A and B are shown apart, each in its own frame.
Chain A
Amino acid sequence: MRMARIFWTTAILSGVLWASRAVGGEAYVIEQKDKQFVYKGKKITVLKLKVGDVVEFRNVDSFFHNVFSLSDVKMFDLGSYPQGQSKSVQFDKPGKVEIECAIHPQMHMTVEVK
Chain B
Amino acid sequence: MVHFVSVLKLHPLLPRKVMCREKRMIRKEGCTKMLRLNSKFGQARRSFLAPALRFFLIAIGALAAHPCLAQELSATSFAAERQIFRLPSEIPAPPENLPTPERVELGKMLFFDPRLSGSNWISCASCHNPSLGWSDGLPTGVGDGMRALGRKTPSLVNSGFNTINMWDGRAPTLEAQAWTPMLESAEMHGSEEAILVKLKAIPGYVSAFAKAYPGEGITKETIGKAIASFERTIISRDSPFDRWVAGEDSALSDSAKRGFALFTGKANCTACHQGSNFTDQGFHNLGLKGSADPGRFAIVPVRISRGAFKTPTLRDVTLTAPYMHNGAYRTLDEVIDHYDRGGDAKENLDPNMRPLGLTDQEKRDLVEFLKGLTGKQQPVVLPRLPQ
Contacts and interface: CB of A to CB of B under 8 A. Distances in A.
Interface of A: 35, 62-64, 66, 68, 70, 77, 79-80, 82, 100, 102-106
Nearest to B271: A63
A102 B163 contact: no
A65 to B, nearest CB: 10
Given A63-B271, A63-B352, A82-B351, A105 B302 contact: no
Interface of A is mostly: loop
Interface string B301-317: 11111001000000000
A34 to B, nearest CB: 10
Contact of A103 (B163, B164, B284, B301): B284
B134 interface: no
B300 interface: yes
B140 interface: no
B281 A102 contact: no
Nearest to A101: B282
A105 B280 CA distance: 10
A102 B300 contact: yes
Interface of B is mostly: loop
Contact of A102 (B164, B272, B305, B351): B305
Interface in B155-207: 163-164, 169
Given A66-B302, A79-B303, A80-B304, A104 B281 contact: yes
B283 interface: yes
A70 B300 CA distance: 9
26 contacts: A35-B282, A62-B271, A63-B272, A63-B280, A63-B352, A64-B350, A64-B352, A66-B304, A70-B302, A79-B303, A80-B351, A100-B300, A102-B283, A102-B296, A102-B300, A102-B302, A102-B304, A102-B308, A103-B304, A103-B308, A103-B350, A104-B280, A104-B281, A105-B169, A106-B163, A106-B281
